[in-house]
């Protein structure tokens, strides 16, 4: 049985929810990973207002769509980041410049997300954790082990009360391993999962696009952490180093051809999706394959439609027999 093909509505949050549902159906998707911001889903209202939840469910049903996941990336970022003026873009305008209140707001919103997910019949909330130590990535001035460990401990302490609510509602939280997060590559992920070893509600949203440009082989990462992978993004990136460009991006915005790498629509980058599908099959992953569509060089509706067809083409079931059984006497 083919896995559910969904689209993450983060890059479409400017659309009202019904328009998003209609477009998703027209593009060939079977479900949504609904963003908890913009014009998509208000998690606080969903947690408190059953009529609002029924309205969301009815709109999904009208267009033949399922919802197995919510996305709370920009909210989660506000939980674990230190004071950062950029967080003003993610929090309510009245909290601008008030970092402690932004964090307090984000912690409560993440708790609402768990309740909203349960009421909508989803099983997971994807997102970010933020990181108080990302700014210390390059070890000059010298970054001590004590400073790094304090960052991991801070994330553990901040997220534990949130995870209590996730546990109580039977919902998983799936961190998208990503630059800017406490876990951004292979070994930082290993360290974080060891930190949360006693919290099975804390796991990963596998997104190969953030690994490929760092030099990490996505399907190797996936295989090694599969027991904590709760959700999967289909997203691509292309590395285009030319002797001038670098992997750190030169403070040049996404889409600019002077960058050393860029996100691409699925199938237009360097990710080996066949190895990912084979790894998912080997571990019997039955969750959604969710397109997170990001490509500054392509029209999003063209890309979104093409991506839905691409995922359906690359997804295949494992064999139920040994291929050479038929040649026995």
Report the CATH number at residue 270. 3.20.20.150
Would you state the structure tokens that stand for residue 255, as one six-digit string?
């889409």
In a domain, 18, yes or no: yes
pTM score, whole prediction? 0.97
Each residue of 71-84: b (16+ CB within 10 Å) or e?
Answer: bbbbbbbbbbbeeb
Q: Which of 188, 101, 195 is nearest to 136 (CA)?
A: 188
Residue 118, domain extent: 5-319
pLDDT value of position 155: 98
Cis peptide before 141 (omega within 30 of 0): yes
pLDDT value of position 321: 85
In a domain, 329, yes or no: no
In a domain, 311, yes or no: yes
Q: How far apart are CA 18 and CA 58, in angstroms?
A: 10
Reduced to 3 states (helix: H, G, I; strand: E, B; else coil), residue 108 is helix
Q: How far apart are CA 280 and CA 317, in angstroms?
A: 10
pLDDT value of position 82: 82
DSSP string for 158-207: HHHHHHHHHHHHT-EEEEE--TTSS--SHHHHHHHHHHTTT-TTEEEEE-
In a domain, 328, yes or no: no
pLDDT value of position 329: 66
Number of domains observed in the structure of the chain: 1
DSSP string for 109-147: HHHHHHHHHHHHT--EEEE----SSGGG-S-SS---HHH
In a domain, 193, yes or no: yes
In a domain, 169, yes or no: yes
pLDDT value of position 1: 59
In a domain, 181, yes or no: yes
Q: What is the pLDDT along the chain (329 residues), one digit of tens a residue?
A: 589 999 999 999 999 999 999 999 999 999 999 999 999 999 999 999 999 999 999 999 999 999 999 999 999 999 999 899 999 999 999 999 999 999 999 999 999 999 999 999 999 999 999 999 999 999 999 999 999 999 999 999 999 999 999 999 999 999 999 999 999 999 999 999 999 999 999 999 999 999 999 999 999 999 999 999 999 999 999 999 999 999 999 999 999 999 999 999 999 999 999 999 999 999 999 999 999 999 999 999 999 999 999 999 999 999 888 887 778 76
Q: Which of 66, 76, 193, 84 is nearest to 135 (CA)?
A: 84
In a domain, 109, yes or no: yes
């Amino acid at each position: 049985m083919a896995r559910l093909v969904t689209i993450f509505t983060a890059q479409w949050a400017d659309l009202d929810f019904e328009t998003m549902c209609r477009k998703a159906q027209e593009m060939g998707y079977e479900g949504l990973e609904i963003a908890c911001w913009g014009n998509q889903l208000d998690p606080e209202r969903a947690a408190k207002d059953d009529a609002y939840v029924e309205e969301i469910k009815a709109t999904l049903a009208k267009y033949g769509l399922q919802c197995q996941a919510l996305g709370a990336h920009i909210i989660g970022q506000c939980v674990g980041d230190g004071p950062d003026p950029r967080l003003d873009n993610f929090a309510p305008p009245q909290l601008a410049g008030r970092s402690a209140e932004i964090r307090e707001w984000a912690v409560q919103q993440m708790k609402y997300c768990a309740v909203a997910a349960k009421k909508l019949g989803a099983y997971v909330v994807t997102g970010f954790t933020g990181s108080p130590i990302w700014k210390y990535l390059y070890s000059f001035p010298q970054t001590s082990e004590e400073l790094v460990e304090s960052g991991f401990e801070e994330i553990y302490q901040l997220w534990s009360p949130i995870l209590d609510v996730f546990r109580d509602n039977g919902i998983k939280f799936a961190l998208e391993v990503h630059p800017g997060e406490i876990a951004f590559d292979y070994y930082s992920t290993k360290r974080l999962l060891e930190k949360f070893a006693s919290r099975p509600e804390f796991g990963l949203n596998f997104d190969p696009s953030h690994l490929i440009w760092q030099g990490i082989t996505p399907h190797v990462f996936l295989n090694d952490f599969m027991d904590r992978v709760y959700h999967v993004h289909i997203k691509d990136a292309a590395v285009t180093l030319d002797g001038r460009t670098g992997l750190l991006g030169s403070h040049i915005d996404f889409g600019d051809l002077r960058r050393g790498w860029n996100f691409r629509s699925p199938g237009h980058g360097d990710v080996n999706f066949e190895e990912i599908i084979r790894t998912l099959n080997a571990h019997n992953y039955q969750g959604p394959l969710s397109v997170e569509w990001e490509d500054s060089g392509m029209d999003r509706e063209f890309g979104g439609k093409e991506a839905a067809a691409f995922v359906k083409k690359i997804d295949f079931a494992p064999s139920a027999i040994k291929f050479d059984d038929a040649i026995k006497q």
